[in-house]
């Protein structure tokens, strides 16, 4: 019996050894090493290096473990101590529409071009001088007004009487048009309000030019250049611009939560199939009314290509604070003074039930406490009538939940997808538009996290001023106004670790993708970002200096600012930058006593050459001086250092350019 046991042990040992040999003989496609790899796995492990194969994370571990996967054809980046995280997942993004904002045919009215009524009117007054009578003034989404300022058709008529104008507020919750635009759209005293929208009228019944919510806005928007029907090529350009902006910010997955029609869903799929779409995209189709809900419920087909997923449905129950249309119980608040439910409770219940029964996710835009309660009512009724094990229905924004609402979030496992950056940008305005008791309920993120409520972060551009996630981190961890010293509910501040997890795994969970994205673990997609700062050690105030230096999706570099050099070991040559040429007949390499590093400068510059061990610890600086263009070399010898045999690395830096290579010491 003992002999048999020993034989079985030997047998399994041989199998394990053989498999280990095969594992470590596999060559990765890409290796990032000598850094701080924040995995955001269940234990929040941090490693030195990561190996990627076929767009999938092969392994994470120490430099020594991961460099075993290096070999011919493998690209690598020496991180020199920089921090890598999973690619951020944005839970509330408008990809095509965000890219469209930079269309050259728009008049740019986004912040900081316009910050007041005077700014806007002066901008239009100058712009109209370039136009012929009858030509449209079509602004991108973005004008802002100061507190208590108003804008109507007659204000616009004074500066552009002969040119139709269509201008969207930054929130996207209302637009202002002039008399010419109303005339083209045939809107007058007798025009009824579209469902869930309002054509604002004065005491005589005359339209003021203010159009509340999407259906009313679209009555004019359909005629305005850039807002009407776009060609497929224009939409492709918008998607491409939008995804490039995602990558610059460090987003590798985004959730477009308001796709306007099913044709755009199919277009996203088409571009994903043809590899034009590189960002991972999860989309929700916007539903305007009950009739549409019935139609799409019968006609929809699930889509999941790996790069693109059609995930469900989006509704809206209220508007925004600046539009004064968030649905609060206290209608005396400025933020709620013009509010109304976009659906009555019974109608909302029916629509949510229809959509819930498709088996897909339902998300509702709602900010105010009354609207939040009405949305939860509808979710609860749908789930009671047709229990589903994991529907993951969502509230988008949810700015002012009550304690009772949070308990219902918890009980029903409803996700809050929200924007902590709004605390920083708009907190002072929210204070003016509401009251102190309401402000005490502004995004209680720590309380909700401690209650186990699923949280997700998204920037909501173009309704938001900026897309960069540093503002989400700043808002979540500091909760300070950008304009004043005010800190809003400091007890609700998150740690940066908590904020990062929400912006990765939390947002991935919101789109049912937490098993493939959101953390850096073997078997998941190789979606990652190299950052300018160490997120875990930077001071909270440094968050606003945080920038993505390199973004990778599926193992492919989709954005780089050039600060992280890609090299490869293929006949021991390096992929070169324009200003430095390295001759890799490092003489000798391997070496036992000394070796020479040879390089050529295309232009004069300050040169710095550092030597690091395999753990990334700097051993010495060989050169730190100004050098002229031409051929140069320097020597690295072991006699002045207590070095053991093994792999070492050098880094040569000229200005902002860096190159790196390996040195093998044998004894």
DSSP-derived 3-state class of residue 77: strand
The per-residue pLDDT for range 108-135, each reduced to its tens digit, is 999 999 999 999 999 999 999 999 999 9
Q: How is the chain split into domains, by residue range?
A: 1-86+518-570, 104-221, 232-517, 574-667
Q: Give domain 574-667's CATH architecture.
A: Sandwich (2.60)
Beta bridge partners of 651: 610, 660
Would you identify the CATH topology of the domain 104-221?
Diaminopimelate Epimerase; Chain A, domain 1 (3.10.310)
| Residue ranges in the chain whose pLDDT is less than 50 | 1-25, 571-578, 581-584
58, 51 Cβ separation under 8 angstroms = yes
Q: Which residue has the tokens 């295309």?
A: 602
Widest Cα–Cα separation across the chain: 102
- Confidence (pTM): 0.83
How far is the C-alpha of 294 from the C-alpha of 243, rounded, in Å?
Answer: 32
> CB of 302 within 8 A of CB of 310?
yes
The answer to whether 588 touches 665, Cβ cutoff 8 Å, is: no
Average pLDDT, the chain: 91
Same fold, 1-86+518-570 and 574-667: no
Question: Under a CB-based contact definition with an 8 Å cutoff, are residues 625 and 606 in contact?
Answer: yes
State how beta strands 83-86 and 36-38 pair. parallel
**485-505 pLDDT per residue, tens:** 999 999 999 999 999 999 999
> Which CATH class for the 232-517 domain?
alpha beta
CATH 2.30.40.10 fits 1-86+518-570, yes or no: yes
**DSSP notation for 369-386:** HHHHHHHHHHHHHHHHHS
């Amino acid at each position: 019996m003992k002999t048999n046991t020993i034989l079985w042990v030997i047998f399994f040992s041989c199998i394990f050894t053989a498999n280990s040999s095969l594992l470590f003989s596999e060559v990765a496609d890409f290796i990032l090493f000598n850094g701080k790899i924040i995995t955001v796995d269940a234990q929040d492990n941090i490693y030195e290096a990561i190996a990627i194969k076929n767009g999938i994370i092969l392994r994470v571990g120490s430099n020594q473990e991961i460099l075993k996967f290096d070999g011919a054809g493998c690209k690598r980046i020496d991180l020199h101590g920089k921090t890598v995280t999973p690619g951020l997942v944005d839970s509330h993004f408008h990809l095509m529409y965000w890219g469209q904002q930079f269309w050259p045919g728009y008049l740019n009215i986004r912040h900081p071009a316009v910050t007041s009524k005077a700014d806007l009117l002066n901008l239009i007054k100058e712009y109209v001088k370039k136009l012929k009578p009858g030509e449209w003034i079509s602004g991108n989404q973005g004008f802002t007004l100061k507190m208590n300022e108003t804008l109507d058709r007659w204000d616009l008529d004074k500066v552009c009487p002969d040119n139709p104008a269509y201008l969207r507020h930054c929130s996207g919750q209302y637009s202002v048009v002039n008399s010419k635009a109303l005339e083209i759209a045939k809107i007058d005293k007798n025009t009824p309000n579209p469902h869930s929208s309002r054509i604002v009228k004065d005491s005589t019944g005359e339209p003021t030019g203010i159009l509340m919510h999407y259906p009313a806005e679209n009555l004019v928007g359909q005629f305005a250049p850039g807002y009407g029907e776009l060609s497929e090529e224009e939409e492709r350009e918008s998607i491409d611009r939008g995804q490039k902006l995602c990558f610059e910010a460090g987003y590798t997955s985004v959730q477009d939560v308001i796709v306007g029609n099913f044709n755009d869903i199919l277009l996203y799929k088409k571009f994903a199939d043809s590899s034009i779409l590189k960002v991972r995209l999860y989309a929700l189709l916007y539903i305007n009314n009950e009739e549409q809900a019935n139609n799409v419920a019968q006609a929809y087909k699930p889509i999941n290509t790996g790069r693109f997923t059609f995930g469900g449905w989006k509704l809206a129950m209220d508007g925004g604070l600046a539009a004064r249309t968030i649905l609060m119980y206290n209608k005396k608040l400025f933020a709620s003074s013009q509010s109304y439910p976009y659906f009555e409770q019974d109608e909302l219940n029916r629509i949510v039930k229809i959509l819930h029964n498709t088996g897909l996710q339902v998300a509702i835009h709602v900010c105010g406490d009354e609207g939040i309660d009405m949305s939860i009512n509808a979710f609860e009724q749908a789930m009671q009538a047709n229990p589903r094990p994991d529907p993951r229905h969502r509230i988008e924004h949810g700015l002012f939940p009550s304690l009772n609402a949070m308990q219902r979030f918890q009980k029903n496992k409803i996700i809050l997808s929200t924007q902590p950056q709004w605390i920083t940008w708009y907190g002072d305005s929210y204070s003016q538009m509401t009251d102190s008791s309401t402000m005490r309920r502004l995004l209680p993120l720590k309380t909700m996290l401690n209650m186990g409520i699923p949280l997700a972060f998204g920037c909501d551009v173009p309704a938001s001023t900026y897309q960069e996630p540093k503002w989400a981190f700043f808002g979540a961890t500091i909760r300070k106004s950008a304009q004043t010293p005010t800190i809003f509910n400091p007890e609700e501040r998150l740690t940066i670790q908590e904020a990062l997890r929400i912006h990765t795994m939390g947002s991935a969970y919101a789109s049912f993708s937490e098993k493939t994205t959101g953390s850096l673990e073997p078997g998941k997609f190789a979606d990652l970002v190299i950052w300018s700062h160490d997120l875990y050690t930077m001071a909270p105030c440094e968050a606003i200096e945080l920038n993505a230096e390199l973004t990778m999706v599926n193992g492919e570099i989709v954005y780089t600012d050039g600060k992280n050099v890609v090299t490869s070991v293929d006949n021991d040559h390096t992929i070169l930058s324009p200003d430095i040429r390295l001759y890799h007949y490092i003489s000798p390499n391997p070496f036992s006593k000394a070796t020479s590093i040879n390089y050529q400068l295309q232009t004069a510059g300050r040169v710095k050459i550092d030597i690091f061990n395999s753990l990334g610890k700097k051993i010495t600086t060989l050169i730190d001086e100004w050098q002229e263009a031409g051929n140069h070399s320097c020597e690295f010898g072991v006699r002045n250092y207590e070095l053991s045999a093994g792999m070492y690395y050098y880094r040569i830096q000229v200005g902002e350019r860096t190159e790196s290579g390996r040195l093998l010491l044998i004894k």
